[in-house]
Amino acid sequence: MSAEEKEKKKKVDPRRTIDPAALEVMDKNDGQIETAYDRYVKMQPQCNFGRTGVCCRICLQGPCRITKKSSKGICGAHGYSIVARNLIRAICGGTGAHADHSRHMIYTLTEMFAGKAGDYQIEDFDKLYRVADRLGISREGKSDEDLLKEVYNCAVSDFTKLDDEPCKWLETTVVPERLKKFQECNVSPRSVHTTISEVMGQTHMGVDSDPVNLIFQGLKSSLADYVCMHIATDISDILFGTPKPVYTEANMGVIDPEMVNIALHGHNPLLSEMIVRVSREMTDEAKEAGAKGIKCMGICCTGNEVLMRQGVPVLTNFLSQELPIMTGAIDAMVVDVQCIMPGVQAVSECFNTRIITTMSHSKIPSAYHVDFDEEHAMEKAKEVVRIAIEGYKERDESKIDIPDHTHNVTAGFSFEAMEDLLGAVSPDAPIKAVTDAVDSGQLRGVVLFAGCNNLRVMHDQSHSHLIKELAKNNVLMVATGCAAGTAAKMGLMNAGAVEEYAGDGLKAFINQLNEANADKLNGNKLPLVFHMGSCVDNSRAYDFTNALAVQWGVDTPKVPFVASAPEAMSEKAVSIGSWCVTLGIPTHVGVVPEVTGSELVNGVALQIAQDVYGGYFIWEEDIEKSVEKVLAALDERSWKLRVHQQTAEKYETTLTKTW
Amino acid sequence: MSAEEKEKKKKVDPRRTIDPAALEVMDKNDGQIETAYDRYVKMQPQCNFGRTGVCCRICLQGPCRITKKSSKGICGAHGYSIVARNLIRAICGGTGAHADHSRHMIYTLTEMFAGKAGDYQIEDFDKLYRVADRLGISREGKSDEDLLKEVYNCAVSDFTKLDDEPCKWLETTVVPERLKKFQECNVSPRSVHTTISEVMGQTHMGVDSDPVNLIFQGLKSSLADYVCMHIATDISDILFGTPKPVYTEANMGVIDPEMVNIALHGHNPLLSEMIVRVSREMTDEAKEAGAKGIKCMGICCTGNEVLMRQGVPVLTNFLSQELPIMTGAIDAMVVDVQCIMPGVQAVSECFNTRIITTMSHSKIPSAYHVDFDEEHAMEKAKEVVRIAIEGYKERDESKIDIPDHTHNVTAGFSFEAMEDLLGAVSPDAPIKAVTDAVDSGQLRGVVLFAGCNNLRVMHDQSHSHLIKELAKNNVLMVATGCAAGTAAKMGLMNAGAVEEYAGDGLKAFINQLNEANADKLNGNKLPLVFHMGSCVDNSRAYDFTNALAVQWGVDTPKVPFVASAPEAMSEKAVSIGSWCVTLGIPTHVGVVPEVTGSELVNGVALQIAQDVYGGYFIWEEDIEKSVEKVLAALDERSWKLRVHQQTAEKYETTLTKTW
């Protein structure tokens, strides 16, 4: 990098967001309290070896870096091996994170069966039956608890088994062609845990140096990730209910200075669901402390979990997680696992916010810690709320300054909720409402917005821009995770946005659903972007794709469905993107991952993957080009789908090639 | 780093070995063919952020590097969190590698029980009974196969289970005080696979930032590593026999220009055992090709496996693995998993050596690949040998130049073999022969040399120097892995070395064993360093420590036993070192791991670990100081042990504190 470039990089403006609430807080603070935005600027320039994936730290002889001078590592590893190894360890990190989440759901069932988790029970029997049916478990003559036990045993098996039978959660959620493909290419995971262990072994010093072989193992890990994510969502729905439409608000204006304000942050609903419940029962305690009551608000995916099921307002998303503390009115920020910046602690120390860690394997030095366990869930939840109430009592009113920005939000669109809405238009086959709209050209296809925020790009900008442009182009949109967070905060997750941004086709489609579901919606109207849940719930979006494939009678690589993670940040995003591709979905990523140091690995991601699996990556940071590329990917598929249908109709034959 | 320092670093001499055979090959080549020694020089200077552990690449916002300017990562992670996360992911990599090895042993049993692995059978019934007894499995009325199935079920459970009962292989191989300590500190692993998955989840972006909590999870992973290593050794012994003394030679002079020469390299005995067997049956095919016969030789730990059980000569150890190819007389190098430099392929292309990869998850681009599976083990072994014979036919005689360096080697000292030898002196309690010798001051203690080679230090030098100096100081020495490789190559693993280097006490101790076992040794004499097996067999050395603890009636932190890895290189070494510490053993490492970027994490390794677990790390690169520190660690324990014994005798009481 030239001195000039370095200087330019150094001068990055820390105001890297388009969220007006975030900007307001940031401007008032004027850099006095350091946040991620400032640390990003300080961190420039960043190491380009790491950035392009050619830095190897796998053995104690390293670090080795691929340069013109040294084109191989000390052991003789080529750049392609190093890049591939780093990549699949990242996928494995994502799988490990989701496995942790999912395993906690399984442990909760273990405790329930042992009579030790009385605060949890089956909330959604229909979901239990649906999952049991899907897994091929007969319900005849079985109690609900017995049925849940059988589901549980399947989940434990998918997590732990050593044999090479396909995981049940993979086998029963994809079209047969997909499963066959996975088995042919040896990417069908033995189990979640076995696969994670395999990746760590295969990437050890002096094991695999074949980049394609490594990447295939990475894809296997991504499918293990899909399995454990789907398990987590299914168990969450059984225990806490499958989301249905809810109506609330988003962005920092939701903070009420007269309430005890609790921010719920992280990714796990096990404790946060309990906190939301007990906070409703503890109003008197809050009143005794002088507050009007207790208000819970969500950050990241714990926020999405309680939004989807309880209608809890959205406070903010990943990147701006430190900023609500700076309003001076957050009494406690309760965190569980994943995407919690350790930086929240230092910011909290300038205000009166208690950071409360709650999981024994996820602590922050100096923070409060309430050690959550399933056996004492409600009790622990109350302990947490009481710490918040104590915080309220000691608030410094002079520091309170809440930005006045909110937007209405309609959320709660599990796949089941979507089916329910679509069923009002197409009762026999709900999903046909979508396939018909695509076939007729009313809709151009379906896009999932998923993933995180990343300071490499302007916070919330790519999400917002893509949503608006795709709306104009009549694309039906679903969203999860921090992408959904952006849509909520930026006013794109309500009926007003349909009016403002939707093209004629999309508008007509949504209005048809509004009319057909008028009785259910109680005077509300559907949003521009349908919130499908937290990032662990991305399997809901795949259920949607799969249903489209089944309805069209094709394998997923023919379905005009694209995933987009414009601001991908975490290893989970790398893993989710990889399973999207393996499951046949074109996947746009707005932040180029650390693979460009190897043309070979990059080529596999962008091209070879398509030849083998039908899905492929699109790296595109430019927001205008991103719109074009996502639309092109949809159009290519719509076009092929029409050819397929015409051919099938004309010759009454099925195509021999899967795509 | 100053310009001058950089210049100095650049001028590193690639002749970084004291192995005379390696030097001879290297000097003849004169840098024309690039090897690891040259690549190390080219790689200088190496990145100091990576080297000290303060580079974080866990999310796509990175890399972040801790500097004076930016004291935290973008997310706010402190250096201590980053260092701790990197460290425990390295431990996890080591655990993953050993899990892979061990899982293959388990799969072989799975195939055997399914009647699909006819080439494998129970070879060592005594070992099976010993393992079954240790696990608490009743043998009454059970067939050997049933017994093996029960052992297998225990192993599968230790690999996969989700509950928090201690793993059987941990529970039954450590003194009760250790197990209690592990449970108190929450480092007892649920199972091998669950723990690996936990580490990957806990180290994901925004999960744990508490360095102590992270390190404890790392120690849990290291104990999972211990569990799977012990399982691998036990099953290997059952299938291939528990090692007994064998007599052979070491170093590159073992290559016979008139034979078909096959180098066996990697870590797994499953295929290499078969290759050694079939090569003896295929002499005629070799003769038809014009050779005198077939000669197998070992590199790294596949070499150690076939040395220990079959007396196969030692060709070389890790760092010099590329050099035997340059003798022009290696017809095939058969590799399985771990520590195989991809660099061997490029070197082989300058000669007539076939590199043959054999495991589907461990390939090298351009190499031959024979896909090993348990069902066709012998057939695959023959296929491999035939490729070598074809290679022999095409040899270029003009390129053959074999360095004339060999040493006699006595190896094969499994813990059972050691007990057998010691039992000739102390029939009722074999291990008492050692405790008595330490109590009387004849021996100063026991040291395990383990671990790899690492170009950061002079190849083979630290091992050799420490062995000679500790011998002089009457330390009983056992060795595994590439440390054993050094001892073998450098003439320190035979009776001559006892004469040359042992102090009076050690000499008397070994001679007493020689005399008492004269009938068994058939005129041979015992070596200076006792070879306990491949690096996966380090659990044999722990069984030794544990037996000493039981005999003395103390917990392991009181036993004068020290582990030393003077040239540690791989993540496996990081993991093994960590379980040594957790199991109560002072552990010298001659290459400082990537933890010095955090005083806190470094302090935990060097000091806090001792307070909690009794074991601790000693980082020391200077070879003279290493000798002093290892001896001091032994002496401190011998002294305490004597105080303990005197106190116990005098007051007839047991000490309340574990150490």
Model pLDDT for residues B79-128, shown as the tens digit of each residue: 999 999 999 999 999 999 999 999 999 999 999 999 999 999 999 999 99
d(CA A154, CA A192): 12
pLDDT per residue as tens digits for the range A175-205: 999 999 999 999 999 999 999 999 999 999 9
Provide the pLDDT confidence category of residue A365 given band limits of 50, 70 and 90: very high
Please indicate whether residue B362 or residue A31 has the higher confidence score (pLDDT).
Answer: B362
Helix or strand or coil: residue B33? coil
pLDDT tens readout for residues A95-118: 999 999 999 999 999 999 999 999
One-letter amino acid of B357: T
Q: Reduced to 3 states, what is the DSSP secondary structure of residue B266?
A: strand
In-domain check, residue B643? yes
Q: State which of B239, B274, B295 marks the end of a domain.
A: B239
In a domain, B89, yes or no: yes
Determine the average pLDDT of the residues in B459-463: 97
Where does a domain end: A345, A377, A399? A399
Say if the Cβ atoms of A365 and B210 lie within 8 Å: yes
Using pLDDT thresholds of 50, 70 and 90, give the confidence band for residue A31.
confident
Dist. CA A356–CA B625, nearest whole Å: 46
Residues B569-579: tens digit of each pLDDT:
999 999 999 99
pLDDT averaged over every residue in chain B:
95
- Give the mean pLDDT of A522-532: 97
Searching chain A, which residue's CA lies closest to the CA of residue B96? A201
> Does residue A435 belong to any structural domain of this protein?
yes
pLDDT band, residue A6 (cuts 50/70/90):
low
Residue B197 in contact with partner chain A when CB distance is under 8 A: yes
A638 found inside a domain:
yes
Nearest CA in chain B to A187: B361
Structural domain ending residue among the three candidates A239, A258, A293: A239
The answer as to whether A657 is a domain residue is: no
Same domain for A228 and A339, yes or no, is no
> Is residue A95 helix, strand or coil?
helix
Q: Could you tell me the pLDDT band of residue B5, with boundaries at 50, 70 and 90?
A: low
pLDDT score, position B653: 42
pLDDT at B31: 84
Position B647 pLDDT exceeds 90: no
Q: Are A472 and A502 in contact (CB under 8 A)?
A: yes
The C-alpha atoms of residue A576 and residue A171 are separated, in whole angstroms, by: 18
Domain CATH for A180: 1.20.1270.30
So what's the pLDDT on residue B1?
53
Residue B474: the pLDDT is 98
Q: Is the CB of A79 inside 8 Å of chain B's CB atoms?
A: no
> Which residues in chain A touch residue B99, judged by CB atoms under 8 angstroms apart?
197, 200-201
Q: Are both B563 and B441 inside the same structural domain?
A: yes
- pLDDT of B643 reads 75
Tens of pLDDT, residue by residue over B587-604, are 999 999 999 999 999 999
d(CA B558, CA B319) in angstroms, rounded, equals 35
In angstroms, the separation between the Cα of residue A88 and the nearest Cα of chain B is 12
- For residue B72, being part of any structural domain is answered with no
Q: Is B75 near chain A, with CB under 8 Å?
A: yes
CB–CB contact B76 A43 (8 Å)? no
What is the reported pLDDT for A11?
67
CATH number at residue B472: 3.40.50.2030
Considering the domain architecture, whether residues B211 and B308 belong to the same structural domain is answered as no
Task: Compute the average pLDDT of residues A31-55.
Answer: 96
Higher pLDDT, B649 or B149: B149
- Percent of residues, chain B, with pLDDT higher than 90: 94
Inter-residue contact A481 to A301 (CB < 8 Å): yes
Q: Is residue A597 part of a domain?
A: yes
Q: Are A227 and B361 in contact (CB under 8 A)?
A: no
The structural domain count of chain B equals 4
Q: Are residues A616 and A469 in the same domain?
A: yes
Q: How many Å lie between the alpha carbon of A442 and the closest alpha carbon of chain B? A: 37
Whether pLDDT at A561 is above 70: yes
- In a shared domain, residues A443 and A387: no
Q: Same structural domain for residues B351 and B424?
A: no
**pLDDT score at A472:** 98
Among chain B residues, CA nearest to A51:
B63
Task: Answer whether A360 sits within 8 Å of B63, measured CB to CB.
Answer: no
How many Å lie between the alpha carbon of B128 and the closest alpha carbon of chain A?
23
Let me know whether A459 and A601 are in one domain: yes
* Residue B73 belongs to a domain: no
**A649 falls in which pLDDT band (50, 70, 90)?**
low
Catalogue the E-assigned strands of B536-632.
561-565, 586-589, 616-619
Residue A12: per-residue pLDDT: 79
B317 & B451 share domain: no
What confidence tier does A156 reach under pLDDT thresholds 50, 70, 90?
Answer: very high
Judged by CB atoms closer than 8 Å, whether chains meet at B206 and A344 is answered as no
Question: Residues B217-248: pLDDT tens digits?
Answer: 999 999 999 999 999 999 999 999 999 999 99
The range of the structural domain enclosing residue B323 comes to: 246-399
Confidence of residue A639 (pLDDT cuts 50, 70, 90): confident
User: Tell me, what's the pLDDT at B655?
Assistant: 39
Nearest one of A456, A525, A573, A504 to A95, comparing CA atoms:
A573
User: Which positions in chain A touch B589 (Cβ < 8 Å)?
Assistant: none
Give, to the nearest 10 degrees, the angle between helix B504-516 and helix B432-439. Answer: 150
- Selected residues 461-490 of chain B with any CB under 8 Å from a CB in chain A: none
Is the model's pLDDT at A7 over the cut of 70? no
- Non-local (6+) Cβ contacts of A587 within 8 A are A562, A563, A564, A565, A577, A580, A581, A615, A616, A617, A618
pLDDT of residue B4: 65
Question: Average pLDDT, stretch A302-323?
Answer: 98
Q: How confident is the model at residue A654 (pLDDT cuts 50, 70, 90)?
A: very low
Cα B150 to Cα B139: distance, rounded to the nearest angstrom: 10
> How does pLDDT run across B321-363, given as a tens digit for each residue?
999 999 999 999 999 999 999 999 999 999 999 999 999 999 9
Q: What is the per-residue pLDDT for B641?
A: 87
pLDDT at residue B411 is higher than 60: yes
Using a CB-CB cut-off of 8 Å, the residues of chain A touching B41 are none
- The predicted pLDDT at position A642 comes to 80
- Ramachandran category for residue A128: left, alpha or beta (phi over 0 → left; psi -120 to 50 → alpha): alpha
Mean pLDDT of chain A: 95
Distance, CA of A310 to CA of A334 (rounded, Å): 17
A7 and A104 together in one domain: no
Q: Assess whether pLDDT exceeds 90 at residue A657.
A: no
CA A73 to chain centre: 35
Structure confidence at residue A643 (pLDDT): 75
Confidence of residue A659 (pLDDT cuts 50, 70, 90): very low
State pTM to two decimals. 0.97
Q: Which of residues 287-346 of B touch A (CB under 8 A)?
A: 322, 337-346
pLDDT tens, position by position, B354-392 = 999 999 999 999 999 999 999 999 999 999 999 999 999
Judgement on whether residues A84 and A215 belong to the same structural domain of the protein:
yes
pLDDT tens digits, A616-631? 999 999 999 999 999 9
**A279 shares a domain with A134:** no
A532 and A389 within one domain: no
